[in-house]
Amino acid sequence: MDVQHIYDAGLCELCGTCAGVCPEGAIAMDWDLDAGYILRVDTGLCTDCGTCVDVCPGDGFDYSDGAWWRERNGDAPRRDFLGPWLSLHFGWARDPEVRYAGASGGVATAILQGALARDLIDGALVVGMDPYNALASRPFLARSADEVAAARGSKYTTVNSNLLLRTIREKAGRYAVVGLPCHLQGLRRAQKRFPALRKRVVLALGVFCGLTCVPKATAVAARRAGVDPAGLAGVGYRGPGWPGGLRLVSRSGAVKEIPYPDYYDGFVGAWVPLRCRLCPDALAELADISVGDAWDSGFEGTAGASDLIVRTEAGRRLIDEVTPDWLTLTEATPEEMVASQREAYRVKREVMRGRLWLRRKAGRAAPSYPGLDLEPALAHKVVGIRDLVTEAAFKTAGRLRYR
């Protein structure tokens, strides 16, 4: 059995893990404006080895205490939504230029640049935008500070960065993998299957995620800004400065900028992959280190700051190594961290519980998450129904108004 049935059931996370580890190269992910990627299994090449199903996180992930990856967390305390952690911080890049250029303080950029400079990693799996398709992302392996800098900033579009797990398996070295929770779910399942990935990926740097979008969302945002998406040469979603905004660069050289989060309205937010609505992980709790915007934490009006969660001993060793020269950190409490992510909590607990309940109620395939309490209260069911109706209404209106 292959992963085609998972994709066809609407459970694919579009992370690229299956295609990145298929021993026969039988899985293709074709870029698509509305879907993000269309997954196709070449039945002529497929040998039904089951590898793709083993590594696919589409059917869920085991968050229970007995899960193999929890060994990396040791005795780290665990709290629902926050996940396991060893230390909590607010922080930013020590270099003011790096701080200003990032989406929220330049922390991820500073960590990777510091790790390269200290010879802790040989490369990092990061994501930039495709130079040939302004609406598409492009994963690549960064091996220098300049290449890391080229990938900075949020990408509010689908990313299949785990395609490059094949390169990491084939080329010896020590790698950092930067990813959203879905990418790290795929990474951890792939590491369980392949010892080489456990050895070579020495750092998983997780990025907080409420929801991502399919490329159609960017096209709609451009239309709403009066820009033809077909004429775009480049897109930036955040930064420089915090919180930054959407930057649309046309082939003619014209630039249109819309502040964040103003551009991320109901018309844009309706274009979210279905599977994102069913994911409970906002803070990348499978990472060694997790980072994200420090909302509502007293940093408004600054050049940007991040929440930073150290989850494993590997993460702690790296942070201890790079902090003096690359990071400025202050301690945070669990209550401050959760309060900083109250909107993500709403999406990944209240709304997600309701949407998951609705999908199961409809008799459709749904992911399972052992170890997490996702039983919906009546209020969650109401929120889930309202979210579904709102999404459908904006998507229908958007199809009519922004073709």
Check whether residue 310 and residue 374 sit in a common domain: no
121 belongs to a structural domain: yes
Check whether residue 392 and residue 304 sit in a common domain: no
Check whether residue 319 and residue 397 sit in a common domain: no
Three-state SS at 282: coil
183 belongs to a structural domain: yes
Read off the pLDDT band of 109 (50, 70, 90).
very high
Check whether residue 358 and residue 340 sit in a common domain: no
Question: Which residue type, as a one-letter code, is found at position 175?
Answer: Y
> What are phi and psi for residue 130, nearest 5 degrees?
-70, 120
Read off the pLDDT band of 151 (50, 70, 90).
very high
Q: State pLDDT tens for residues 11-60.
A: 999 999 999 999 999 999 999 999 999 999 999 999 999 999 999 999 99
pTM of the model: 0.96
pLDDT at 66: 67
Read off the pLDDT band of 298 (50, 70, 90).
confident
Read off the pLDDT band of 72 (50, 70, 90).
low
* Last residue of one domain, picked from the residues 346, 372, 387: 346
> What CA–CA distance (Å, rounded) separates 250 from 38?
27
pLDDT at 58: 97
Check whether residue 379 and residue 319 sit in a common domain: no
Check whether residue 361 and residue 303 sit in a common domain: no
Domain that holds residue 362: 347-401
Q: State pLDDT tens for residues 215-237.
A: 999 999 999 999 999 999 999 99
Check whether residue 391 and residue 276 sit in a common domain: no
Check whether residue 286 and residue 391 sit in a common domain: no
360 belongs to a structural domain: yes
> What are phi and psi for residue 395, nearest 5 degrees?
-65, -40
> What are phi and psi for residue 32, nearest 5 degrees?
-145, 135
Q: Which long-range contacts (CB under 8 A, 24 or more apart) does 119-124 make?
A: 120/174, 120/202, 120/203, 120/318, 120/321, 120/322, 121/174, 121/175, 121/176, 121/202, 121/203, 122/173, 122/174, 122/175, 123/173, 123/175, 123/176, 124/148, 124/175, 124/176, 124/177, 124/178, 124/205
Q: In terms of DSSP H, where are the helices of 253-377?
A: 266-269, 313-326, 334-340, 342-345, 352-361
pLDDT at position 98 over 90: yes
* Last residue of one domain, picked from the residues 346, 361, 377: 346
Number of compact structural domains in the chain: 2
In terms of Cα–Cα distance, which of 268, 266, 273 is closest to 248? 268
> What are phi and psi for residue 293, nearest 5 degrees?
-55, 135
Q: Which has the minimum average pLDDT: 105-109, 291-295, 302-306?
A: 302-306
User: If you ran DSSP here, which 8-state letter would residue 341 be given?
Assistant: T
Average pLDDT score over residue span 122-142: 97
Check whether residue 208 and residue 352 sit in a common domain: no
Check whether residue 165 and residue 64 sit in a common domain: yes
Check whether residue 337 and residue 393 sit in a common domain: no
pLDDT at 239: 82
232 belongs to a structural domain: no
pLDDT at position 71 over 70: no
Average pLDDT, the chain: 95
pLDDT at 302: 80
Check whether residue 74 and residue 196 sit in a common domain: yes
Contact 182, 206 (CB under 8 A): no
239 belongs to a structural domain: no
